[in-house]
Amino acid sequence: MSFLTLGIETSCDETAASVVADGREIRSSIIASQFVHSQFGGVVPELASRAHIRLIVPIVRTALEVASISLRDLNLVAATNAPGLLGALLVGLPFAKSLAWANKLPFVGVNHLEGHLFATFLQYPDIGVPFICLVVSGGHTELIQVREKCRYRVLGETLDDACGEAFDKAAKMLGLPYPGGMFVEEHARQGRRAVKFPSPQIAGLDFSFSGLKTSLLYYLRDHREFDLADVCHSFQETLVDALVSKVALAVDETGVKRVAVTGGVAVNTRLRERMQELAGQQSLEVFFPDRSLCTDNAAMIAACGHARFERFGPSSLALPAFARQPIDTEPQMNTDEHR
């Protein structure tokens, strides 16, 4: 008999639910993206919460239907409790807890960043450890050494904007729609590296993208006429350079030769190409989960919830939502006082 986890994700502007069997087999993964925000050029928290409230029941129902199961068949409910927009988390999290409580099921809270990392375990269940995971999304840019499931070492992170955020802000300055990463990539395909943007100079394994953003701002201020494709291309190359060079440094410093890349920016084809080049040069194994697993989804939340439940037991039904929360690097068994 399979162990079935229902995952629920509402940390930003995707309402998602998924049923995952035994932490590795996706039986359903339903995602409703909220397009209401595009007219505002960014996510409007209040509108996100309202959309989650409207969508949560039909999305969970559809996830169960597509998996051909009923609530009675579930063994565990997992939901993102941090980090994210508080008002958005406060839809999926209490919904998941109530569902678990009413159906006498255990509940597990999941950190969204750790969820992104689990896209790798979902796609490559037999991936060896340790591996280095670059998580690049709208909210995160983190280099993490994965010692094993649920045990990590943070090697580096962004000191300012997240990498996807930098793409989105650049897109906004260039008059492209939100979320902008994919539009920058699309235009970059027709361009050349004609503009010299300064590459971020941060020592060690941390990242910084705000300088690059400012230099784009100055470039646009000083050039009333510019070639959109060339600007997108140059911006993307500079940003990808920064990501790939930090991964190379992390490999040097740790001696770990397996690298996974996940999160929404991992959809980017140029990043994938450049990582493959690096893999060739340095004899690395590189893992990219499918694009549908890289962007926000609930299958990664279910997989992570399953692993954490196996290892640490259920979370408390009093577990709060947090707008910010680092990944738990050395988690302990959940104790009664935390329940």
| Interface residues toward ligand KG4, by CB under 6 A | 12, 137-139, 164, 167-168, 179-182, 185, 263-265, 267-268, 295-296
Is 4 or 20 the residue whose CB approaches Zn ion more closely?
Answer: 20
Would you give the binding string for Zn ion spanning residues 257-296, x where CB under 5 A is met? ---------------------------------------x
Instruction: Scan residues 146-165 and list those touching Zn ion (CB under 5 A).
Output: none
Measured between alpha carbons, how far is 214 from 115 in angstroms, rounded to an integer? 31
The site partner of 229 among Zn ion, ligand KG4, none (C-beta below 5 to 8 Å per kind) is none
| Numbers of helices and strands, H then E, in the chain | 10, 10
The site partner of 185 among Zn ion, ligand KG4, none (C-beta below 5 to 8 Å per kind) is ligand KG4
Is 13 or 100 the residue whose CB approaches ligand KG4 more closely?
Answer: 13
Task: For residue 286, count CB atoms less than 10 angstroms from its CB and return exposed for 0-12, middle for 13-18, buried for 19 or more.
Answer: buried
Q: Which residues are registered as beta bridge partners of 196?
A: none
Q: What is the DSSP letter of 125?
A: T
The site partner of 314 among Zn ion, ligand KG4, none (C-beta below 5 to 8 Å per kind) is none
Smallest separation, CB 200 to Zn ion (Å) = 22
Is 42 or 211 the residue whose CB approaches Zn ion more closely?
Answer: 42
The site partner of 146 among ligand KG4, Zn ion, none (C-beta below 5 to 8 Å per kind) is none
Is 5 or 11 the residue whose CB approaches ligand KG4 more closely?
Answer: 11
Using DSSP's 3-state secondary structure scheme, residue 14 falls into strand
Measured between alpha carbons, how far is 8 from 302 in angstroms, rounded to an integer? 7
The site partner of 121 among Zn ion, ligand KG4, none (C-beta below 5 to 8 Å per kind) is none
Smallest separation, CB 288 to Zn ion (Å) = 16
In one-letter notation, the amino acid at residue 10 is T
In one-letter notation, the amino acid at residue 334 is N
Measured between alpha carbons, how far is 131 from 149 in angstroms, rounded to an integer? 11
Smallest separation, CB 222 to ligand KG4 (Å) = 25
Smallest separation, CB 73 to ligand KG4 (Å) = 29
Q: Which residues are registered as beta bridge partners of 63?
A: none
Is 87 or 139 the residue whose CB approaches ligand KG4 more closely?
Answer: 139
Smallest separation, CB 278 to ligand KG4 (Å) = 18
Measured between alpha carbons, how far is 224 from 216 in angstroms, rounded to an integer? 13
Are 290 and 26 a contacting pair, CB within 8 Å?
no
137 contributes a contact to Zn ion by CB under 5 A: yes
Tokens 């941090």, residue? 82
Measured between alpha carbons, how far is 233 from 193 in angstroms, rounded to an integer? 6
Smallest separation, CB 313 to ligand KG4 (Å) = 27
Sign, CA dihedral 109-112-116-117, equals: negative
Are 291 and 272 a contacting pair, CB within 8 Å?
no
Contacts to Zn ion by CB under 5 A: 137, 296
